[in-house]
Amino acid sequence: MNLFESLRASFTSLRANKLRAALTMSGIVMGTFLVFVMYSVGSGATREAKKVITDLAPNAVAVVYGYFPVDMDISKVTFSPSEMLQQMEDLGTNLPLISSRFKPEMSYPLQRELPGGCMATPLSVDLKRVEFGPRSRNVFAFATNDNYPAIRNQSLARGRYFTRRDEGRRVCVLGSDLSLRLFGDIDPVGREIRVNGRRFQVLGVMEPRGRTMFMDNDDLLLLPYWVGGHLGPEQVDGFLVSAPTPEDMREAKAACIEVLERQVGEKTFTVITQEEMLALAGDATRLVNIMSGIVTFVGLLVGGIGIMNIMLVAVSERIREIGIRKAMGARATDILKQFLLESLLLGISGGVIGICMGFGFLMMIEVIFDFPPYIGPASILIALLFSMGVGVIFGVWPAMKAAALDPVEALGHEL
């Protein structure tokens, strides 16, 4: 029996038992669905996380208040409950019990100590309500200094940015989307808006930047540090530093540590470079992928067991058929090939349905949560190979059992 005849016989057998085939495929459908969705969501999250980090600033160095062990290898974190509690306790003892002791004016001595070409800005992030006439919007407000546009490599679409000459004034700069939502086609430069009920004059509007992860970089408000973030004008969350080269970035980290240790004390802050951020993101992604892999493995295992059980039932129901075929000259390899093809077809069909369901689910995630999962050829191929592999692996035993039947005993089998 050639391959075409074996395929035709397998299709005929599956068509004759549509309900049983559908029930058998259900486990594979769900397992493939999990593989496809988790791989696509994980890939999308990884790409977005790296985009957020690389979009932060060229060769960025971030300084945050509170000591965190950034050199910790996340992939080696244990899942033992007692050890996890100890790790959390050790980490907790390094966290500050008071609000940030960073002062915005620390950015100036920090700027002087940095290698040539490096720039520093204080940074504080808060959620504020912005109003212009009847229009209002809740947006993220970034309290910074005049280095912020250069550090973020952003330019102005109109107007100007605030400088130290504006110190003491309530001024602001709008993101392009925020400007459009509040003012429409009206030029906002020189006009006044209300920020948490206080009047601010608009100095300029930034060029469009686009989205990263869940953050719209154009739907935001930029304020001078002297008007304050959520900690008030005397404190900031941290500092953002940009360096011309990776070598300067590492030197900038050392300079930040040296300057800030004199200002706020040892181990009360964390300085992390862009390289370290990307490494941490990679470690976290690997950990998530391992956990996702365990979940999908269990799902596919259940589907595979379903295929094996149903195929064993099919073998027991078709013993006389197998005996007749062997009596007519079919070899054991022909029987083996047909049953393997049936289980493979079940795996492929379940895989295709699971991938189609996954496409629909991922589109729903993108619309509802505004999160772009990454659907690449690799995710489709991996999901399909998993479903095919499960079909073949769990179909081997039933196929071998069918092929090993004695034709004389099979013909004498009573249904």
Mean pLDDT of 119-140: 90
Euclidean distance between CA atoms 348 and 330, whole angstroms: 26
Higher pLDDT, 241 or 394: 241
Query: In terms of domains, do 223 and 131 share one?
Result: yes
Euclidean distance between CA atoms 24 and 53, whole angstroms: 45
Mean pLDDT of 67-95: 49
Mean pLDDT of 379-399: 82
Using CB atoms within 10 A of its CB, is residue 290 exposed (0-12), middle (13-18) or buried (19+)?
Answer: exposed
Residue 254 included in any domain? yes
Q: Which pLDDT band holds residue 192 (cuts at 50, 70, 90)?
A: very high
Higher pLDDT, 386 or 139: 139
Query: In terms of domains, do 199 and 229 share one?
Result: yes
Rank 166-180, 254-268, 276-290 by mean pLDDT and report only the highest.
166-180
Euclidean distance between CA atoms 178 and 184, whole angstroms: 9
Residue 67 included in any domain? no
Residue-wise pLDDT tens digits, 306-335: 778 777 777 777 777 777 777 777 777 777
Q: Is the pLDDT of residue 66 over 90?
A: no
Residue 79 included in any domain? no
Q: What is the pLDDT of residue 73?
A: 45
pLDDT > 70: percent of the chain: 81
Domain housing 250: 104-267
Euclidean distance between CA atoms 265 and 98, whole angstroms: 14
Query: In terms of domains, do 14 and 126 share one?
Result: no
Three-class secondary structure of residue 307 per DSSP: helix
End-of-domain residue from the set 267, 300, 329: 267
Query: In terms of domains, do 245 and 128 share one?
Result: yes
Number of domains in the chain: 2
Residue 306 CB contacts under 8 Å (≥ 6 apart), including other chains: 23, 24, 26, 27, 28
Q: What is the pLDDT of residue 85?
A: 47
Query: In terms of domains, do 133 and 254 share one?
Result: yes
Q: What is the pLDDT of residue 80?
A: 45
Query: In terms of domains, do 260 and 315 share one?
Result: no
Residue 196 included in any domain? yes
Query: In terms of domains, do 152 and 299 share one?
Result: no
Q: What is the pLDDT of residue 410?
A: 60
Residue 272 included in any domain? no
- Chain-centroid distance, C-alpha 143: 28
Q: Is the pLDDT of residue 75 over 70?
A: no
Q: Is the pLDDT of residue 77 over 50?
A: no
End-of-domain residue from the set 221, 244, 267: 267
Q: What is the mean pLDDT of the chain?
A: 79
Query: In terms of domains, do 349 and 317 share one?
Result: yes
Residue 228 included in any domain? yes
Q: Is the pLDDT of residue 117 over 60?
A: yes
Q: What is the pLDDT of residue 180?
A: 93
Higher pLDDT, 354 or 7: 354
Higher pLDDT, 199 or 234: 199
Q: Which pLDDT band holds residue 217 (cuts at 50, 70, 90)?
A: confident
Q: What is the pLDDT of residue 408?
A: 65
Residue-wise pLDDT tens digits, 14-41: 666 666 677 777 778 888 888 888 878 8
Contact (CB, 8 A) for 364 and 316 = no
DSSP state of 218: T
Query: In terms of domains, do 354 and 406 share one?
Result: yes
Q: What is the pLDDT of residue 266?
A: 64
Q: What angle do CA 217, 221, 223 make, to 5 degrees?
A: 130
Query: In terms of domains, do 255 and 127 share one?
Result: yes
Residue 299 included in any domain? yes
Q: Is the pLDDT of residue 300 over 80?
A: no
Residue 108 CB contacts under 8 Å (≥ 6 apart), including other chains: none
Residue 83 included in any domain? no
Q: What is the pLDDT of residue 67?
A: 67
Query: In terms of domains, do 360 and 389 share one?
Result: yes
Tokens describing residue 27? 């486990």
Q: What is the pLDDT of residue 207?
A: 92
Residue-wise pLDDT tens digits, 142-174: 999 989 998 888 899 999 999 989 988 999 999
Query: In terms of domains, do 199 and 108 share one?
Result: yes
